Amino acid sequence: MASRADLHTHSTYSDGNLSPTELIEQAVSRGLDVLALTDHDCTDGIAEALEAAQKHPRLLFIPGVELSTDLPQEEVHVLGYFLEWQNPRFQGRLTHLRRSRMERGQKMLTKLKHLGFDVPWQRVKEIAGDGAVGRPHIALAMLEAGHISSLEEAFNRYLSRNGPAYVAREKITPAEAVQLITDASGLAVLAHPRDLQNMESLLAELKAAGLIGIEVYYQDYDQQAIERLLAIARQHDLLPLGGSDFHGIGGAHERDLGDIPLPFEPVEQLIALARQRQPQQAPP
């Protein structure tokens, strides 16, 4: 079942394979009514996407971000929508986080070299282009050099949280991310929460910080997972939202834009909440 909206996508400004303009064009070609660009710790693609979206009045474009955070036992990602993305304090924090990502990438290449894999930093940066260096760029460089046979192998064997080449990011907590988004007049949503530990206590903390929704519809979530997350969303009075996490680089879990069973009603509720909370940022 395809949706009319996709609230979780990435462009070349983080670790996606399409430029913001190409992402907008593909969303239009697939008949989407609403698209959010949520690059990792980066809003640099928003200006281009806004310009491209002006050519398609039927498409509502939502400026967004995906912030990477850490707890002692796992990573937690937080999405932000309808941001005042040019807010100086917000941009200052993102710049700091991207610098940390760059240093992290270099340390991961050092670990890979100790494992016998020579992956040139220059090539990783070329693959990343204008985007902040991330693990998918390192995985692509490994694949290109013949060190692995698939992107899944790079993560499963080397780059995952417990992999031998993994390096932790600079720590920012989920609650700090929610607060950062909220302070930039954004609406914060917990990303792909299916496998998170201690979700009940986490949601209580994040809702107190300003969380308004969770991703219920995501990539390959089956009906059982969707029903469980729907119940959690209702229990905590959170909007049940979702997205494909589209990167355009293929892989076993990649979905096309809008290829999720996200109903349009909670998307309309998100838009209405944006109009209510920050009319200067929300659509007319």
The string of pLDDT tens digits covering residues 10-29 is 999 988 999 999 999 999 99
261-280 burial code (b ≥16 CB/10 A, e <16): ebbeebbeebbebbeeebee
Query: Rounded to whole angstroms, how far apart are CA atoms 238 and 236?
Result: 6
Q: Are strands 74-81 and 60-71 parallel, antiparallel or unpaired?
A: antiparallel
- Domain residue ranges of the chain, discontinuous segments joined by +: 5-93+170-277
Strand partners, 215: 241
Q: What is the pLDDT of residue 280?
A: 57
Counting every residue, how long is the chain? 284
Instruction: Please classify residue 198 by burial: count the beta carbons closer than 10 Å to its beta carbon, then call 0-12 exposed, 13-18 middle and 19+ buried.
Output: exposed
Which superfamily does 5-93+170-277 belong to?
A: Metal-dependent hydrolases (3.20.20.140)
Considering the entire predicted model, what is its pTM? Answer: 0.83
pLDDT computed for residue 123 by the predictor = 95
Q: What integer pLDDT is reported at residue 62 of this predicted model?
A: 98
Count CB neighbours of 216 within 10 A: 27
User: Measured between alpha carbons, how far is 198 from 192 in angstroms, rounded to an integer?
Assistant: 14
Q: Which one-letter amino acid corresponds to residue 178?
A: V
Interacting residues of 19 by C-beta distance below 8 A, sequence separation 6+: 11, 12, 45, 48
What distance in Å separates the CA atoms of residue 238 and residue 36, rounded to the nearest whole number? Answer: 19
The per-residue pLDDT for 22 is 98
Which parts of the chain register pLDDT below 70?
Answer: 1, 278-284
